[in-house]
Amino acid sequence: MVLAVLLIFSVAAPLNQNKVPPILPILMSAFNLSVSRAGLLMSVYALTGLILALPAGLIFQRLGYRLTGLIAGGSIALGAALGALSTSTEGMLASRVVEGAGTSFMAVLAPAIIAVWFAVRKRGVAMGIWATWVPLGATAMLLLAPALSQAAGWQAVWWFGCLYALVAMGLFFLVVKPAPTRSMPDGSQPLSQTALPPARASRVLRSRDVWLIGLTFACFNIATTPFSAFLPTYLNMQRGLSLTQAALLASLTAVIPIFSCPVGGMLSDRIGSRKRPYVVGMLLITFALPLVTVLGTSTLVMLIVAYGLVTGLVPTNIFTAGVEAAGDERLGGLAMGVLMVGQNAGMLIGPLAFGALVEAAGWPLAFASMAVIGLAGAVAGWLARGK
């Protein structure tokens, strides 16, 4: 039950984060944005997340999961409401910063709880189920945003995101009670009794392996965030698909990982390795990205399906590997803070770099450049010690 509610609550973050891509042409027209400036609507979301990633991990360890949940859900709901009321680009960008702050806290919340409640032999599957938070949120918004915007304007998309965050936060507080005063199923102590010696925490921040895994996650997001964010626009502007058709096709990149993320966790539990699945996934992504502008539309559909299968291998096992690299389940929140530095750096850099490359050199070179970043991530992941 706790895992199910964590998943429902976590979805509020990617649901609101991915409001932009499905209706990006509408927003570009409403706010008079160029392609590169439109990328800011995605990248600025990550700016606050990048700044707050490590503090969020430390704050979680200090405040516990209920207060952290309040900060996470409240910030996302507030940011969505401010965005719905925005009448200028500056106001919209500011609202995205507030939403990004909430996402930073959300990202450290669930994995840290999972790390305490689930034994190592089952942690991959549990983390794989939770890792569907991003594809679930992205898929829901890819499917809902065009219909909501056509029915009641783009503001309706933002109000929907605000309402979902508030309802999910209420469910979180209703179901996820303070940890009982007993040992967890894996023998560790509950979160409410966790005491973190400063020396142990500082070793996490100095851990070569945690930071290398974080670098891999940064490269993953630099390479894949623009693909998800700009694919509907590419299909609409370059392939001639309608906005609804483009959003539906792009939604496959989010729908398929809903199934492949848990499979990725099961695979890592079965083979006893977190590193091999996410490194192989990074290599396959590197191979796939340059083919986007080369293949015909019908073949591109098959590539998108394969892409969705592969991307499920990466975040699931990066989350699990990062938590385990900390060496202590109680420090999972702090380790996730390091990983969120990588995630938000990638989300910040990726759309900005991709948008600039599209304007300067065209779509083919932009996609090929992201493949180079993916290869760098595979190398960084392989250098991280651990199974």
Q: What would the pLDDT profile of 107-155 be if each residue is shown by its tens digit?
A: 888 877 777 777 767 777 788 888 888 878 887 887 888 888 888 888 8
pLDDT category of residue 194 using cuts at 50, 70 and 90? very low
Proportion of the chain above pLDDT 70, given as a percent: 89
**What does the alpha-carbon distance between residue 191 and residue 181 come to, in Å, rounded to a whole number?**
9
Do the beta carbons of residue 314 and residue 282 sit within 8 Å? yes
Q: ∠355-258-47 over CA atoms, to 5°?
A: 35
Band of pLDDT at residue 189, cut at 50, 70 and 90: very low
Run of H or E including 135: helix 133-152
The pLDDT assigned to 144 comes to 87
- Min mean pLDDT across 2-6, 66-70, 193-197, 206-210 is at 193-197
User: Which residue type sits at 266?
Assistant: M
Q: Does the pLDDT value for residue 14 go beyond 50? A: yes
pLDDT at residue 159 above 90?
A: yes
Tokens of 379: 């190398």
Q: What is the pLDDT of residues 45-81, one digit of tens each?
A: 767 777 887 787 777 777 777 888 889 999 999 999 9
CATH code for the domain in which residue 353 is found: 1.20.1250.20
Q: Decide if pLDDT at 162 tops 90.
A: yes
Looking at residue 163, its pLDDT comes to 95
Considering the entire predicted model, what is its pTM? 0.73
Give the containing element (helix H, strand E) for 232.
Answer: helix 208-237
Name the more confident of 333 and 187. Answer: 333
Structural domains of the chain, count: 1
Q: Residue 77's CB: how many other CB atoms inside 10 A?
A: 24
Average pLDDT, the chain: 80
The amino acid that residue 243 corresponds to is: L
Print the domain residue range for 379: 2-383
Inform me whether the pLDDT recorded for 232 exceeds 50. yes
- DSSP calls for 163-211: HHHHHHHHHHHHH-PPPPSS--TTSPPPGGG----HHHHHHHHT-HHHH
Nearest alpha-carbon partner for 343 in 75, 68, 56: 56
Residue listed under structure tokens 């930073």: 104
pLDDT in tens, 298-326: 788 888 888 888 887 888 888 888 777 77
Flag the least confident range among 51-60, 133-142, 183-192, 284-293.
Answer: 183-192
Distance (Å, whole) CA 358 – CA 202: 41
Residue 175 CB: number of other CB atoms within 10 A? Answer: 14
Give the C-alpha separation, 174 to 156, whole Å.
Answer: 27
Q: Are 127 and 267 in contact (CB under 8 A)?
A: no
* Six token digits for residue 4: 């199910």
Q: How far apart are CA 150 and CA 211, in angstroms?
A: 44
DSSP states along 47-69: HHHHHHHHHHHHHHHHH-HHHHH
User: Could you tell me the two tokens for 163?
Assistant: 């309402």
Model pLDDT, residue 200: 62
